[in-house]
């Protein structure tokens, strides 16, 4: 089995904390790492500089589609980032923990 990592950015800690807690509680994900970041991006013809929160969701392949759906359904942005990172290598003990935490 492989590890699935999905990243997304959120405008504030409250919006990501709410969905992260739900996803961990219902075992869709094993964990979500949340960190404050500075983002520079183009939006509606302007260059924006803002603070955001990056969320790193960790799960198993069987939960990937549901996770992406839940992010899209609950995300406050008009165009949310939902990026899957291909993990080619992960230590076995961590992968085992993710599998156990999502079953």
Encode pLDDT of 22-40 as tens digits: 999 999 999 999 999 999 9
Confidence of residue 54 (pLDDT cuts 50, 70, 90): very high
Average pLDDT (94-103) is: 96
What ranges do the domains of the chain cover?
4-101
Query: Going along 14-91, which residue ranges are E strands?
Result: 31-43, 46-59, 83-86
- For residue 54, CA distances in Å to 1, 2, 93, 99, 101 come to 26, 22, 25, 23, 22
Decide if pLDDT at 1 tops 90. Answer: no
SS3 label, residue 53: strand
Average pLDDT (64-84) is: 96
Decide if pLDDT at 14 tops 90. Answer: yes
1 DSSP assignment: -
Which of 2.60.120.260, 3.40.50.2300, 3.30.70.120, 1.10.20.10 would CATH assign to domain 4-101? 3.30.70.120
Q: Is the whole-model pTM more than 0.85?
A: yes
User: With pLDDT > 70 as the criterion, what percentage of the chain qualifies?
Assistant: 100
Decide if pLDDT at 42 tops 90. Answer: yes
Confidence of residue 91 (pLDDT cuts 50, 70, 90): very high
């Amino acid at each position: 089995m492989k590890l699935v990592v999905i990243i997304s950015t959120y405008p504030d800690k409250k919006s990501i904390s709410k969905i992260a807690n739900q996803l961990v509680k219902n075992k869709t994900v094993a964990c979500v790492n949340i960190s404050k970041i500075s983002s520079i991006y183009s939006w509606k013809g302007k260059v924006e500089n803002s603070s955001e929160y990056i969320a790193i969701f960790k799960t198993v392949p069987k939960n990937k589609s549901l996770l992406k759906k839940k992010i899209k359904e609950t995300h406050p942005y008009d165009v949310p980032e939902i990026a899957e990172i291909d993990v080619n290598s992960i230590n076995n003990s961590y992968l085992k923990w993710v599998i156990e935490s999502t079953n």
